[in-house]
Chain A
Amino acid sequence: QMQLQESGPGLAKPSETLSLICTVSGGSMNIYYWSWVRQPPGKGLEWIGYIHDSGITNFNSSLKSRVTMSLDTSKNQFSLKLESVTPADTAVYYCARGGWYMDVWGKGTTLTVSS
C-alpha cells in the first residue's frame, strides 16, 4: 500500500524560500500525478498544484509566481518550493497522490512563517 511522508523545516522567516519534500513508498511514481495541498490553521483546504513525471505541471494561479515543483523518481520523492514566504503561508502542507482528485495523502507537515 502506497504511503507518503512530508518533510520540511517547520519554521521559516519572511522572505525566505520554503522547501518541502514528499517521500513515496510502496509503489511506482511514474504513472501518477502528485499534488500539494495546504491548510492554514483553523481554515479550509487550498490546492497548490501538481506535477507528473512527464513534466506536466499545473499550479494554483494565486501562487503560480512563487511555486516550483520537481520530481525525482530515482529517490521516490517530489518537492515543493515556495518563494518569498509571508506569515500568510503558515499552514499544514500535505502531499497527495493524484492531480485531479487525491486518493492517498501524507499526514502533513506544519510550516510556521515568523520572524
Chain B
Amino acid sequence: EIVLTQSPDTLSLSPGERATLSCRASQSVSSTYLAWYQQKRGQAPRLLIHSASSRATDIPDRFSGSGSGTDFTLTISRLEPEDFAVYYCQRYGGSPGTFGQGTRVEIK
C-alpha cells in the first residue's frame, strides 16, 4: 500500500505570503494520479488540482501543483484570507485511494 506523507503538519504564514506544501509517496506514483484538496472547518473537501498539475474548474491560478515520482508540491503563490484551511493530497487509480494526513495552513 502506498503511503502519502505531507509536510509540514502546520504552516504558519501571513496573507500575501507564498505557501509551499509537500506530499511524499512511499512508492513512485504516476503524476496522472495525484490530486490536492482544500478543506475548511465544517465543510466538505474541495478539489483544487488533479493529475498533479491540472487546476480544477473555477480554481484561481494562485494555486499550482507540480512534481513527479514520489515528490509532489502544492504552491499557493499569494495567500488570500480564504486560503487558510487544511490541504490534503490524494493518490488515486489504485486500491486504496490514499490520502495524506493533511497540512494545516494557519494565519501567523
Contact = CB atoms under 8 A, between A and B. Distances in A.
A94 B35 CA distance: 17
Nearest to B94: A58
A57 to B, nearest CB: 10
Interface residues of A, number: 21
Interface residues of B, number: 26
**What DSSP secondary structure best describes chain A's contact surface?**
loop
Interface stretch (B10-18, B21-29, B71-79, B96-104): B96-104
Given A44-B88, A44-B102, A62 B96 contact: yes
**What DSSP secondary structure best describes chain B's contact surface?**
loop
B92 A100 contact: yes
Contacts of A61: 1, 95-96
B99 A47 contact: yes
A94 B95 contact: no
Contacts of B46: 105
Contacts of A37: 45
Interface of B: 1, 33, 35, 37, 39, 43-47, 50-51, 56-57, 88, 90, 92-93, 95-102
Interface of A: 37, 44-47, 58-62, 94, 96, 99-103, 105-108
